[in-house]
Amino acid sequence: MEYSFCESSEWSWEEPSCHSPIRLSCNQREVLFNPTVSVGTAAVKGTVPFMAGRQYLWEIKMLSTIHGTDVVVGVGTAHVNLSAYSQKFIALLGNDSESWGLSYRGDIIHGGIRTSYGPQFGKGSIVGVHLNMWTGTLEFYLNRRRLGVAFKLMKNQVLYPMISSTIGNSSMRLVTTMSWPASLELSCLQSISAMPQLSNIPGLRAMWGKTFWWQQATEMKKKVEENALSEAVEYELEIISSDEEEQERIMLRSRRILRNRNNQRRRHAAQC
């Protein structure tokens, strides 16, 4: 998927003070932490609070190498003091009861407690966050792979998206911001996403692929990709049905593509 990184979005990062170790660019969607040298933890939050009764999805791409104490992506209330540890290296998000976060090490953090959750992420990774303000759940994605519910939050809290970093000259970019009101349609899609066998319902596959890709089960995503490839192959065969040799070449090519995709999935699963 291609992103136009500097276009407008539903929200962006809040402008820091002139003495802050944070620099914003690209319509306040790209953030640079500790541009010279890091002496502690820097953090930034979104410009607007998230509203009750809505669902929010946003994605952040890691633009620089990640190492050191911690980089954490998550949410927090207005009570989080973003400059509390400017002279100390710490995982700021999740360090107290007012914030929840996912560390680059793969742990989720809240109240100072770390829990193993998913694989590590690094430079080039896209971390997705889905906050359901209707049910009070928070879950994360890594490179559009769903990792599952990480936290169950209080439904009536006012929350902001946040990032914290202890790394010098580290940068990240907000590449996706979307939200929807809680609705019967969305609830039904979320329920159906747990049943990959329903992926062939007319129109459902197109709806998922276009807007609600983040609700697809992993198995359903595979089915969608394979069905799309099969349809393309069938179309090509119809066009050149008189050329048997060309048909054979197309079939061999499609089998090779599917085999390569399956091998890539197995390697990815082994790494995780």
- For residue 244, the model assigns a pLDDT of 58
Which helix H or strand E contains 125, and what residues bound it?
A: none
Residue with tokens 């995780």, as numbered in its chain = 272
Burial class (CB in 10 A: 0-12, 13-18, 19+), 162: buried
- For residue 163, the model assigns a pLDDT of 96
Which has more confidence, 271 or 18?
A: 18
- For residue 224, the model assigns a pLDDT of 43
Tell me which architecture the domain covering 22-181 has in CATH: Sandwich (2.60)
Q: Percentage of residues in the chain with pLDDT exceeding 90?
A: 45
The pLDDT of residue 250 is above 90: no
Which residue stretches of the chain are H helix? 184-192, 204-210, 218-239, 244-271
Which has more confidence, 254 or 136?
A: 136
Name the pLDDT band for 272 (thresholds 50, 70, 90): low
The structure tokens listed for 99 are: 């914030």
Average pLDDT on 89-95 reads 92
The pLDDT of residue 32 is above 80: yes
Give pLDDT tens digits for 189-246. Answer: 766 666 666 666 666 666 655 566 666 644 444 444 444 444 444 434 444 444 556 5
CB 217 within 8 Å of CB 192: no
CA separation for the pair 265, 4 (Å, rounded): 28
Closest C-alpha among 122, 129, 69 to residue 102: 129
The domain locations on the chain are: 22-181
- For residue 56, the model assigns a pLDDT of 94
CA separation for the pair 91, 172 (Å, rounded): 17
This prediction has a pTM of 0.71
